[in-house]
Structures are given as structure tokens and as C-alpha cells.
Structure 1
Amino acid sequence: MGAEAAGTGDVTATPGTTPFTGADKGTWTAGEVVETASDKMKAAGAFLIHRATCDFTFSGTAPNGAAVSGKSTVALSATASRLRVGGERLLLNGDEAHDTFGNALKAVSTRPLRLP
């Protein structure tokens, strides 16, 4: 059985389109994606990752014109039960997480691994 494991740099952040609580318009901005990587295993030149997080910030306005700001953190954790390094699961191609505002993290990888 083959799988595509995510390595450093393989998780992308996509800002949502739903306004923060109390706002009727505005924009979300993605911060830096922070990845937690294995220091024991590489595939296609990159260390494989277990999880990733990203802080998204919102800037907009309420219906009355008042400024609204907000923050949401999205955490992506591995769910595959068979792929583990050092006892921790690995992120796979297609793993994703999102919040109620539509902010999302997604692992996109073509790093092949073979399972015994």
C-alpha cells in the first residue's frame, strides 16, 4: 500500500470568506503556517510533518460602520493510523482542517511512502 506523506512546506493556508462575529464585511489574512516536523524521517528531501497550525486575522466593519477585528487559529493534525514516526502520526496528502469562518489548512503532497 502506498501513501503520500506531507513534508515541510506542503501545508497551505487559505483565508475564509465568512466575516468574523459582529462584522458584515471584511477580509481574513493568513499568518505563517507553523509545522511540527519529524527529525527522524524524510521523503523527497523534506522532513515529514505531524501537525500544522496557522493564525488567521480578520479586519472589517460592523453594520453600523464600527471597526471589527478578530483572530482564529486553525490546527491540522494527522489522522492516519498506520503512518507513524516516533509514535506520532504523519500528515497525508489531502488532510485538511477548517474553522467556522472558512479559514483552512490543507496538506498537498506527492511524496510517496510505502507501507509494509
Structure 2
Amino acid sequence: MRFIAVLRTAEAHGFPPPELAEGIAALGAEAARSGVLVDTAGLLPVATATRVGVTAGELTVTEGPFDDPAPLGAYAVYDVTTRDEVIDWTKRFMDLHRRTWPTWEGESEIRQIFGPES
């Protein structure tokens, strides 16, 4: 089963402290060694985003920035055997933030991916 964990956080927090970056790198390496981490990356600020949508039957293209209170900041794709497994990895990721960046706030949303490889 494949899942994506999407991190949402206000961009006003700035860059993460070095301890968090090191912890994320170590956690990612552990997940990759275990074979469950498929892909992960941070995302550029919402000011660089473009949204393509459909409104009243017409395609729309809107350039950022957008007023999202908690825009997407990063993602991780996992290939695991149970939902509990991806929840555990995501809790560990969020706990790193809690421990190394006490003023940071955000959340991760976990969604199952469906398709030919899931």
C-alpha cells in the first residue's frame, strides 16, 4: 500500500534549525534503508506556486502567492504494508519538529494513493 504524507505549515517560520534538518536526514535514511520510503522533498514557498483549476467549465490559471493559512511545505511517499506503519513514520517526523523547533506548528495529512502500483 502506498501513502503520501503531506506537511502543512505556515511559511512565516523561516528555515528549520540545523538539528531538525539533521534529524530529518537521519530519519529519511532509516526509512529508505528499511525500504518503505519511495520519495520525499521540500516544496518551494507558495509565492512560487501556480494553480490550474476549472471554474464554471473554464480552465483557470492563477499565480501565487495564495492566502492559505497552512500551505504545503513538503511531502513523503511511503510503500508500507499497513496504515499504522505510515502513521508511525509520520509521527516520528512530526516529533522531530516538536523536539527541535519548539515554536513551530504544523500538521501532516496522510492519504492513501490508489493506482496501478498501490
TM-score by length of 1: 0.29
Structure having the higher Rg: 1
Compare the two structures and name the one with the higher strand fraction.
1
**Hey, which of these two has a bigger chunk of helix by percent?**
2
Higher relative contact order (CA 8 A, sep 6+): 2
